[in-house]
Chains A and B, each alone.
Chain A
Amino acid sequence: MLKCTFCGRRAAYHRRYAGVLLCDRCLIKSVAKRFRRAIAEHQMISPRGRVALAVSGGKDSIALMHLLAEYCKQKNCELVAITIDEGIKGYRNRSVPMARENAESLGVEYVVVSFKLAFGATLDQMVKLAKLKKTGLNPCTYCGVMRRSLLNQAARELEADKLATAHNLDDEVQAIMLNYVRADLSRLHRLGPTYPPQKGFVPRIKPLREVLEKEVALYALLSGLKVHLGVCPYASGIHTEIRDFLNELETNHPNSKFMILRMFERLKPHIARVTPKFEMRRCELCGEQTSADICKSCELLKGLGLKRLQKTLISPKCS
């Protein structure tokens, strides 16, 4: 039996990048400590603020909901959880009840916003339309762009001053690598623990950005949280290849993910200097902020012969 480096109980995890073994209690304590440190270091949450949390029902967002609920209780902040139901049969319909159940057990205000009501089609239907119309775009493009847009609008309508997402270290490093591979300077320089305030956008925060995906999963499982562990049926392509490459690198060379993040942070001020700045304006179709005449969501919807149906997302019926 392997013992915890700190308390001598049976180890549940070998944190190889730090050369320590952790038992269930010490792992839970350590993840909670990193979460609080990230909030304090980057002044993510203002006293008596109102935080919206994007929650899918998966391990990361459920773990963050529990951590934030406790934090907000102590700091007198308000927390509201938002689930975007993209309409992925066999996947999202299983995770939404999990998100709702956790929110109810914590007494957290909970809202669901659906693609179907907002755009008149589920993601499953959009994927079929995209094939018919031969747009050449993959499901993650539609899902990512439209989910972010709805999250921002919902958080704004709910009068949140911050929008928390459960991006972990793996997500962040994958995004860094993806933007390198695509040579996308403008997206690369926007990555960070917080996003600077911009008109029309609720500033986003990522309190789990310095916690490995595996450690977030262990936090959720060892805490006995009810989470959905289904696999998105659309997960494929370059995102998956980058994820697998980074995991192999981490297995063979522990600490690689942290090192990629640290290097990016050192480069970031220089990247900002050479990144073109865009002037933001209102989308001609939906009125959301965009750097072009119409926003990316409306552009994608237009390509599918769809449009935004709901001007306002949050009504008493939604919650």
Chain B
Amino acid sequence: MTHIKVTVKQVGKKHQREIRLDPHTTIADLLRKLGSSRETVVVRRNEKIVAEEERLSDGDLIEILTIVTGG
């Protein structure tokens, strides 16, 4: 497979989008690509909170929850 497709959703926002990625992409790589700091988010992969070093698979649903809320 030359590419995989994952669906990315920011929790609390209506829109979700499909992103094409290299097959060996990890969640940490995806966060970098999206400009999200791993220190400020929790990621659910197919409804499970997982470590950001997990590699993504074709068809994954990735939900990004922002946890830094104060000033």
Chain A interface (Cβ < 8 Å from any Cβ of B): 1-2, 10-14, 21, 24, 58-59, 140, 170-171, 212-214, 217-218, 221-222, 229-232, 234-237, 239-240, 243-244, 247-248, 250-251
Contacts and interface: CB of A to CB of B under 8 A. Distances in A.
Contacts of B19: none
Nearest to A3: B51
B37 interface: yes
B26 to A, nearest CB: 10
**What is the interface of chain B mostly: helix, strand, loop, or mixed?**
loop
Interface of B: 12, 37-40, 42, 48-54, 65-71
B39 A250 contact: yes
Given A2-B54, A11-B51, A239-B71, A217 B39 contact: no
23 contacts: A10-B50, A11-B50, A12-B49, A14-B51, A14-B52, A58-B70, A59-B69, A170-B39, A170-B68, A213-B67, A213-B68, A214-B39, A214-B67, A221-B65, A229-B12, A235-B70, A235-B71, A236-B71, A237-B71, A244-B37, A247-B39, A247-B40, A251-B38
B49 A232 contact: no
Going nearest first, the 3 A-B pairs with the smallest beta carbon separation are A235-B71, A217-B67, A247-B39
A10 B47 CA distance: 13
Interface centre among B12, B37, B54, B67, by most chain A C-beta atoms within 10 angstroms, is B67
Nearest to A21: B51
Contacts of A232: 69-71
